[in-house]
Amino acid sequence: QHQLQYTEFWQARTGLTFGVERILFNRQSAYQHVQVLQTDAFGRMLTLDGLVMLTERDEFVYHEMISHPALCLLPRPRRVLIVGGGDGGTLREVLRYSEIEQVDLVEIDEVVIEAARTCFPELSIAFDDPRARLHVADGVAFVREAAPATYDLVIVDSTDPVDFAEGLFGESFYRDCARILTDDGVLVTQSESPFDYTFQASIQAAHAMLGRIFPRVHMYLAHIPTYPMGLWSFTLASKRLHPVEDFDPEQAARRLAPFADRLRYYNVELHRAAFALPSFVRRLF
């Protein structure tokens, strides 16, 4: 009974294999194959079209790192837009701040939300917060129609740049994000592994597009054991604030204080460290 395994293939024959104890959720949606597996080493694991989105054991790294660097950089973040993120993990991190007044979350696939509601209550509980507004819609269309200067922060918590997620790595989407952000606004997007050659060209292209739209574009890194190659990147594009030079550690520490003991990865010291890039990553841009 211990022979079931699941492999996310990164290349034709190279990937990461998980021991599977049970299949907890298994549904083909209008967009993708949504599965939740009980694994032996990483607890429950959500996959979309066979790609690992999160595991119970290491989701904190991704969700803290896609949220807190920008939220601690911004002087007064109040309104946030999350594009994707239907599992609720990013939403949970954003809602930790009492000064956040409203978070719109735009998820294209309601089956992802259902999988999270069924199998990841510790994440999807965030949907019950009165400050959260859930929209089952296409993120590209949502940002096109949103009013100017509405959000202090836009977080793109997407899958890989393929299929219907490709638009979330495109120039017109980024232009709309810039338009709906306030004057100090910040955009953060997940940007794949710097070791990954599959998406290197599209990530470099996305970085260049952001550079044409935002005065500042910075990549930062975190270790995520269950994602391809284990080293992951995020890209922070900003209209004014420099993510390290304008970062005020005292302001950040004050803001984190009410929940700092619940964070498992991000802290004020790590903020600076995350933006220090290995030389091979610097040379990519």
Binding site for ligand AG3 (CB under 6 A): 8, 51-54, 62, 85, 87, 89-90, 157, 159-160, 190, 227-228
For residue 253, the minimal CB distance to ligand AG3 (Å) is 26
Tokens, residue 172: 């017109």
For residue 145, the minimal CB distance to ligand AG3 (Å) is 24
Cβ 90 vs Cβ 82: under 8 Å: yes
Residue 222 or 268: which CB sits closer to ligand AG3?
222
Residue 236 or 268: which CB sits closer to ligand AG3?
236
Q: Who contacts 273 (Cβ-Cβ below 8 Å, separation ≥6)?
A: none
Per DSSP (E only), the strands in 119-276 are 132-136, 151-157, 181-190, 216-223, 231-238
For residue 85, the minimal CB distance to ligand AG3 (Å) is 5
The torsion angles phi and psi of 219, rounded to 5 degrees, stand at -95, 150
Helix (H, G, I), strand (E, B) or coil at 135: strand
For residue 208, the minimal CB distance to ligand AG3 (Å) is 21
Q: Which residues partner with 48 through β-bridges?
A: 34, 51
Going by C-alpha positions, the residue among 97, 94, 90, 92 that lies closest to residue 256 is 97
Residue 47 or 182: which CB sits closer to ligand AG3?
47
Q: Which one of 58, 157, 160, 176 is the catalytic residue?
A: 157
Residue 104 or 160: which CB sits closer to ligand AG3?
160
Q: Which residues partner with 25 through β-bridges?
A: 36
Q: Who contacts 14 (Cβ-Cβ below 8 Å, separation ≥6)?
A: none
Per DSSP (E only), the strands in 108-261 are 132-136, 151-157, 181-190, 216-223, 231-238
d(CA 131, CA 77): 14
Residue 87 or 104: which CB sits closer to ligand AG3?
87
For residue 51, the minimal CB distance to ligand AG3 (Å) is 4
**Parallel, antiparallel, or unpaired: how do β-strands 102-107 and 33-39 relate?**
unpaired
Residue 184 bears catalytic tag: no
The residues that are catalytic are: 157
